[in-house]
Structure 1
Amino acid sequence: MAEYQRIEYRIDKQGRLVEKVLNGNGSSCTETTRKVEENIGEVERRELLPEYYKEANGNEETAVENLQSFVK
């Protein structure tokens, strides 16, 4: 069974959607938001948050993707 993910969505002053996974670690964050991003629009940029570098068990890992996405 999939783990429950909490995602915060905000609209910034420029009208861009900002999404942030609040309770995820590692690549589960980008996997959770991938479908939403595909349906809403183009991702302008991503910012890595410290939680992304932790696997579900808390170990450090390297990554090329990010938790926080800015969508046009």
Structure 2
Amino acid sequence: MADYQTIEYRIGKDGKITERVLNGDTNCTEMTLEIERAIGTVESQKLLPDYYEGDEFLMVEDTQIRQVKSDDG
């Protein structure tokens, strides 16, 4: 876990609230859950790279190549 986290809230002219956790980790979603419930419905969520730091996440890339033969040849 990071030493401290900063939670930034911005309220747009349209009333839309943007929440951003700085120096967060995988606990940031749990840390902000109660605040989000009090504010309203979460429309979308984008996790920052800090969320994925640590040993608990292993990035695996799998590529598949598929060749299709046509009946024309």
Of all paired residues, the percent bearing the same amino acid is 52
Counterpart of 1:61 in structure 2 is: 57
Q: CA deviation at 1:45?
A: 0.4
Relative to its length, the structure with more strand (as a share) is 1
1:52 partnered with 2:48: no
TM normalised by structure 1 equals 0.65
Give the gaps of 5 or more residues in structure 2: 59-73
Give the gaps of 5 or more residues in structure 1: 63-72
**Given residue 7 of structure 1, which amino acid in structure 2 is its aligned partner?**
I
Higher relative contact order (CA 8 A, sep 6+): 1
Runs of 4+ in 1 over 3 A off after TM superposition: none
Q: CA deviation at 1:28?
A: 0.9
**Given residue 32 of structure 2, which amino acid in structure 1 is its aligned partner?**
T
